[in-house]
Amino acid sequence: MTATDKRVQFDFEIDFSNGGGIQGQGFRLDIDGDDIDDAALADSIVRDLRLLMVGAVRILSKRVIVERHKCAAAQVASGATTSVRHVDLSHAIEDGMITYKGLPAPLVCDHLSREQSRAHYAEGTEFQIGKLTMVANTGTYIDSPYHRFADGKDVAGFDLDEVAGLEGVLARVTGMAGRAIDHSVFLPLDVQGKAVLVHTGWDRHWRTDPYFEGHPFLTAGAAEYLRDSGARLVGIDSLNIDDTTDGHRPAHTTLLGAGIPIVEHLRGLEQLPDAGFHFSAVPVKIKGMGTFPVRAYASLGAA
């Protein structure tokens, strides 16, 4: 034991946002320095116990003691696999569909129909050349910093290693009471260097009126936590990562301001494990676009 080894001993009570709670007595945790405030201690409990949908955390009978640090990281070995399975996480874009109220629907049609093409080719040979007119915020799409900031990187500026083959982690918040997803959801997760996908289950409302009203979103504090914790990309299966009634758009501002891409309108996240997958969401390389649709997918079993 060194002269500076300190631990905190305490009791706690935790309420869950979906009902119920847990208590603990006589817990001890290693601390750096001479003290730790209740908020930081609460975050440590939630993270170490890997708790989800945490409401209130109360710290009781706290005292700092001199004792050797006992923190040890457990390592879980996983067997290698040679097979890779891809899981589609994108909505299909269709003629006339609405992704976001107030934005026009895409127009999908022929530029050159098969019938028209027959005049240009040998008998029995025909082609179709399609035409697409749409706004960039259609279907499942990725936001680049340029979407929010005039001097930010556009979708053509993404390096492939920013948007393809990212190690992923899933935050499950289905059944959560309320709409706001705060930072406590992410405390049990190792988000550093990861694509953090938020599974709300809101995609079940896709292409229905309820999809546009009362959607789940990240709080400003959650976005700041993900930025400060080193997330590389953040995705959500909801209408918007922000509360659309808040004109400041704090999640977009914080994440895109830090160069962290955002993927919105994901689907099918219930098919993924909590970790152990890789995520890709690669847009077409178009200059001058802050947003563009992607074919988002997860790879399971990838090295």
Give me the count of residues in the chain: 303
Name the nearest CA neighbour of 260 among 145, 141, 140. Answer: 145
Distance of CA 114 to the CA centre of its chain: 42
> What is the per-residue pLDDT for 80?
47
Q: Is 255 helix (H, G, I), strand (E, B) or coil?
A: helix
Pair 283, 257: CB distance under 8 Å: no
* Burial class of residue 156 (count of CB atoms within 10 Å of its CB; 0-12, 13-18, 19+): middle
Q: What is the mean pLDDT of each run of 10 residues along the chain (303 residues)?
A: 74 90 89 89 89 91 82 43 86 98 97 98 98 98 98 98 98 93 97 98 97 97 98 98 98 98 98 96 98 98 62
> What single string gives the DSSP state of each residue in 124-177?
T----EEEEE--SS-SSEEE-GGGT-TTS--GGG--HHHHSSEEEEEEE-TT-S
> What is the per-residue pLDDT for 89?
98
> What is the per-residue pLDDT for 3?
52
Q: How far is residue 302's CA from residue 300's CA, in Å, rounded to a whole number? A: 6
> What is the per-residue pLDDT for 1?
47
Token pair for 272: 């993924």
> What is the per-residue pLDDT for 4?
62
> What is the per-residue pLDDT for 301?
83
Token pair for 93: 């874009």
Name the nearest CA neighbour of 185 among 228, 211, 219. Answer: 219
Q: How far is residue 292's CA from residue 303's CA, in Å, rounded to a whole number? A: 28
